[in-house]
Amino acid sequence: MIKDELNALLSQSVDGLITQGLLPPGDYPIPVVESPKQAEHGDFAVTFALASAKVAGMNPRQVGELLATALQATDTFESVEVAGPGFVNLRVKPNKFEGSLAEVLNSTDKRILEKPGHFARPAQPHPHRINVEFVSVNPNGPITIGSGRGAAYGSALCNLLEASGHTVHREYYINDGVNSEQMRQFALSVRALKLGTEFPEKGYRGDYVQAVADVLDTAEDHPTEWWQSEAQATMLERQRRDLEAFGVVFDTWFSEQSLHDAGIVAECLNELIAKGAADDEPRRTVLKMGKKGAIEEVVREDQPQDEDDAEGSERTVWLRSTKFGDDMDRVLRRRDGRLTYIASDVAYHRDKFNRPSSADRLITVLGPDHHGYINRLRAVVAAMRMSPSEPNGVPAFGEAAELFRDQAEQASCEAATRQAEKELLVQIFQLVRFLKDGKPAPMRKRDGNIFALSDLVDEIGQRLHPDADRKTQQQAGRDVARFFYLMRHHDTTFDFDLDLAAKQSDENPVFYVQYAHARICQLIDRAKTEIPGVIPDVTAADLGIREVSLTELHERERSLLIKVFELREEVARAAEDLAVNRIATYAIELARAYHGFYDQCRVIDAAQPDVSKKRLAIVLATQTALRAALDLLGVSAPERM
């Protein structure tokens, strides 16, 4: 793509200057082109002169002049200007865009997620096998509009990681442990509704509970476990349906309980004890933290042992997670022998690493209420991955002396923690506030009903297209909801304006982008009938672009092309930062560039076939980029609106 070519050219030029003795040898930064904020600064800008003035021992403008002279000589630029304190502003000769345009057109009609050769797929220097776990809510209710953000983000993130050259596994962790008190309450609520028995005090109300009861085909009572597994399965099915309708599918729905059933949780527990990462000493270590994560004090809380406890009660087993960066030790096995959620987490994470096509990176997407879970989760992975250490009897220093057996253990634990920081990335998405009539809309209705993701999709779809069929409504609702969820950075609280989402107007960015695509499609259709033979044949093996020469470019053509070429870089950067919102922003910018081009550049003109051909090539390239961006977001690209 054009930027890579220019970067290579820059490096050559700088090397040349050094070889010629015009620049003193030194440790220079790698020169790269940047996109200027203002169009009048040219197509690309170089800040090399500013960054390297010190190394060169010259003033930045001087370095800029040298670089400009060298670049002038390459016959690549229409203009090279040194501006301001030492920027080098570049305007590229139109024909230098031909290669990049051909590259994009080669990808027309290919989906970004299908063909590895797609132009938007950057060369991935460090491809990983990434397991992305997201949504993973309890199977005791429908997917809420709060979780909707995690669903949208997680699914788009997976697309993005794939597009940037990683292998991705999409995973949903089912919190179906039979020990779960919440699931027990949910099951008992269903039972009460079905059999007319007494409703549990902490029971779940809402139509969806009744709906589960209605589905179950039984008239008699069963053990609680039966109700639990039946209610769960029914609810899970609803979740799966809702998610699918929202464009979210998983490769694996992983059952927590299956780990218990296979005895793996217990096995892991024993492993941790053997490694010294867990034990049943009756104490909990709590770290008093100062600023910047500095340990101020190690507090040892002795746990009272109830002599009165029922016979057969066991000693509490603690994960010494304070050895792995957590601020508090965590319980793995309760006194009554039940294993905790975090105990299954150990087994679960071991499993993720140990499958046949195992992951080497884990990404876990969690909601805002799980922020405190990050260190704990990392400690779990660290403890599970740690290799046991031979005692060396050298006591650790300072606070560490309270935590570790000796320096050998400290080294081992710290290495495991650092490793876990690399292997496990926890992404927190922040709260969404839903606004209706300018006021916050409650997430939970007074009757105990939850504002479900499916309600959101339906409501937006119905308000947009009151008279359309259900499929059209759902598609529209899904497109708008996904785009709204994704257009803000996931780690920022944002307001979801339901009225704006349901407005079919220029205020709604989704339609702004989709409209650009629809305009393109209609234009291409029209060109096929009005000026057949002029439209570049992108299906030909050796593309029609070879006949399209870019001898001159209208300003709008130029800026549109540059924007199209940016997609690949944008995908790489967004994937690097796990920032899906960049793609939404890019889509809006690309749409803007297209609308601007469309307004000023007449495409179909039988009198000027060369101009038409060139512009159609640019339009096709834009269509490819726009589709790719929308694909990544999981938003449809309609052919007409």
Partner RNA sequence: GCCCUGGUAGCUCAGUGGAUAGAGCAACGGCCUUCUAAGCCGUUGGUCGGAGGUUCGAUUCCUCUCCAGGGCGCCA
Residues 208-247 that bind RNA (CB under 7 A): none
Residue choice 4, 240, 595, 636 for contact with RNA (CB under 7 A): 595
State the binding string over 597-636 for RNA (x if CB under 7 A, else -). Answer: -xxxxxxx--------------------------------
Check binding of 582 to RNA (CB under 7 A).
yes
CA-to-CA distance for 436 and 428, rounded, in angstroms? Answer: 25
CA-to-CA distance for 545 and 614, rounded, in angstroms? Answer: 8
3-state secondary structure of 103: helix
CA-to-CA distance for 492 and 484, rounded, in angstroms? Answer: 13
Check binding of 327 to RNA (CB under 7 A).
yes
In the complex with RNA, the residue whose CB is nearer, 452 or 562, is 562
CA-to-CA distance for 28 and 19, rounded, in angstroms? Answer: 14
**What is the distance of C-alpha 566 from the center of its chain?**
19
CB 428 within 8 A of CB 446: no
In the complex with RNA, the residue whose CB is nearer, 275 or 563, is 563
In angstroms, give the least distance from the CB of 405 to RNA: 23
CB 259 within 8 A of CB 265: yes
Check binding of 512 to RNA (CB under 7 A).
yes
Site for RNA in 469-498 (CB under 7 A): 487-489, 491-495, 497
In the complex with RNA, the residue whose CB is nearer, 191 or 488, is 488
Q: In what order do the strands lie in the sheet with 361-366?
A: 252-255, 167-174, 129-133, 361-366, 424-428
In the complex with RNA, the residue whose CB is nearer, 28 or 407, is 28
Q: Which stretch binds RNA (CB under 7 A): 67-75, 204-212, 330-338, 381-389?
A: 330-338
In the complex with RNA, the residue whose CB is nearer, 406 or 589, is 589
CA-to-CA distance for 377 and 55, rounded, in angstroms? Answer: 45
In the complex with RNA, the residue whose CB is nearer, 60 or 165, is 60
Check binding of 446 to RNA (CB under 7 A).
no
Structure tokens at 180: 């779960």
Check binding of 47 to RNA (CB under 7 A).
yes
Cα dihedral 454→455→461→464 (10° resolution): -160
Query: 419: alpha, beta or left, given left = phi > 0 and alpha = psi -120 to 50?
Result: alpha
DSSP codes of every residue in 576-617: HHT-THHHHHHHHHHHHHHHHHHHH-----TT-HHHHHHHHH
Structure tokens at 156: 């788009």
In the complex with RNA, the residue whose CB is nearer, 109 or 369, is 369
User: Which residues, 6+ apart, have CB-to-CB distance to 607 below 8 Å?
Assistant: none
Check binding of 26 to RNA (CB under 7 A).
no
Check binding of 2 to RNA (CB under 7 A).
no
Residue 399: Cβ-neighbour burial (10 angstroms; 0-12, 13-18, 19+): middle
Check binding of 253 to RNA (CB under 7 A).
no
CA-to-CA distance for 200 and 182, rounded, in angstroms? Answer: 12
Output the CA–CA distances (angstroms, integers) from residue 101 to 43, 69, 338, 486, 537, in the order listed. 16, 28, 62, 29, 14
Provide the strand spans (E) within 103-192. 129-133, 167-174
Bridge pairing between strands 129-133 and 87-92: unpaired
In the complex with RNA, the residue whose CB is nearer, 226 or 494, is 494
Bridge pairing between strands 432-436 and 494-497: parallel
In angstroms, give the least distance from the CB of 220 to RNA: 28
What is the DSSP secondary structure assignment for residue 405, as one 8-state letter?
S
Site for RNA in 132-191 (CB under 7 A): 138, 175, 177, 179-182
Site for RNA in 372-401 (CB under 7 A): 372-373
In the complex with RNA, the residue whose CB is nearer, 201 or 220, is 201
Residue choice 199, 226, 253, 341 for contact with RNA (CB under 7 A): 341
In angstroms, give the least distance from the CB of 133 to RNA: 14
Check binding of 313 to RNA (CB under 7 A).
no
Check binding of 505 to RNA (CB under 7 A).
yes
In the complex with RNA, the residue whose CB is nearer, 389 or 635, is 635
In angstroms, give the least distance from the CB of 324 to RNA: 16
Q: Which stretch binds RNA (CB under 7 A): 46-54, 160-168, 381-389, 620-628?
A: 46-54
Q: Which stretch binds RNA (CB under 7 A): 187-195, 362-370, 378-386, 397-405?
A: 362-370
State the binding string over 275-294 for RNA (x if CB under 7 A, else -). Answer: -------------xxxxxx-
Residue choice 91, 128, 222, 335 for contact with RNA (CB under 7 A): 335
Site for RNA in 71-90 (CB under 7 A): 83-85, 87, 89
Residue choice 273, 428, 443, 468 for contact with RNA (CB under 7 A): 428
Site for RNA in 124-143 (CB under 7 A): 138
Identify which of 447, 628, 587, 609 has the alpha carbon closest to the alpha carbon of residue 527.
609
In the complex with RNA, the residue whose CB is nearer, 214 or 552, is 552
CA-to-CA distance for 333 and 343, rounded, in angstroms? Answer: 7
In the complex with RNA, the residue whose CB is nearer, 546 or 602, is 602
Site for RNA in 519-558 (CB under 7 A): 519, 521-523, 526
Check binding of 321 to RNA (CB under 7 A).
no
How many residues make contact with RNA (CB under 7 A)? 94
In angstroms, give the least distance from the CB of 471 to RNA: 16
CA-to-CA distance for 569 and 251, rounded, in angstroms? Answer: 28
To the nearest 10 degrees (0 to 180), the angle between helices 264-275 and 374-385 is: 80
In angstroms, give the least distance from the CB of 186 to RNA: 11
Bridge pairing between strands 129-133 and 167-174: parallel
